[in-house]
């Protein structure tokens, strides 16, 4: 990315404000996904838009230099630095999603069978719904985040 034209102060400030909001919304969508609109996929896509905003406004290296406090790896090399970590997120998400299905089989139910439990009389929170579908959603979330960020970082670098 050539830096002869920096994004305006407005863009940078708005990004700083909006990114946390996007992430919170994404998490909300992820948590309610099993019985309300939302889910792992859309939460993942939303999370990636937050990252995309940071990439566009602050540049490709910002994440690594400022947030992770390290020197970014050399580009144009296959799977360097952060891209490798995105790949790891992708793989572990896939493992979690597949594992959540296999777990049901271990308990003697068909693949991907889900269950739900309600925790009542919790302090402060009251009633809490714990759905096993959330684990699958979490896996999907990681797959989407990992895959899309890999594409963004790789294609963005070119």
- Minimum separation from the CB atom of position 39 to another protein (A): 15
Separation between Cα atoms, residue 66 and residue 95, nearest integer Å: 30
Separation between Cα atoms, residue 23 and residue 18, nearest integer Å: 9
Q: CB–CB of 100/132 below 8 Å? A: yes
- Minimum separation from the CB atom of position 110 to another protein (A): 5
- How wide is the angle at C-alpha 150 spanned by C-alphas 100 and 24, nearest 5°? 65
Nearer to another protein, 65 or 113 (CB): 113
Nearer to another protein, 37 or 108 (CB): 108
Nearer to another protein, 28 or 133 (CB): 133
Nearer to another protein, 4 or 158 (CB): 158
Q: CB-based contacts of 50: which residues, under 8 Å, 6+ apart?
A: 18, 19, 22, 23, 26
Instruction: Catalog residues that contact another protein under the rule CB under 8 A.
Output: 78, 87, 90-92, 94-95, 98, 102, 104-105, 108-114
- Minimum separation from the CB atom of position 140 to another protein (A): 14
Helix or strand or coil: residue 24?
helix
- Minimum separation from the CB atom of position 57 to another protein (A): 31
Distance (Å) of CA 50 to CA 16, 54, 65, 96, 124: 10, 6, 17, 23, 31
- Minimum separation from the CB atom of position 96 to another protein (A): 10
Nearer to another protein, 65 or 132 (CB): 132
């Amino acid at each position: 990315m050539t830096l002869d034209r920096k994004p305006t102060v407005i863009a940078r400030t708005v990004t700083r404000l909006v990114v946390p909001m996007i992430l919170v919304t994404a998490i909300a969508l992820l948590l309610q996904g099993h019985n309300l609109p939302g889910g792992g996929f859309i939460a993942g896509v939303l999370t990636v838009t937050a990252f995309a905003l940071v990439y566009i406004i602050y540049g490709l290296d910002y994440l690594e230099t400022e947030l992770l406090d390290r020197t970014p790896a050399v580009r144009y090399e296959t799977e360097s630095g952060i891209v490798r970590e995105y790949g790891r997120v992708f793989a572990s998400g896939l493992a979690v999603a597949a594992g959540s299905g296999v777990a049901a089989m271990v308990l003697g139910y068909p693949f991907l069978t889900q269950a739900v439990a309600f925790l009542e009389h919790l302090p402060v929170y009251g009633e809490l719904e714990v759905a096993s579908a959330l684990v699958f959603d979490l896996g999907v979330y990681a797959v989407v985040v990992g895959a899309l960020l890999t594409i963004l970082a790789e294609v963005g670098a070119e």
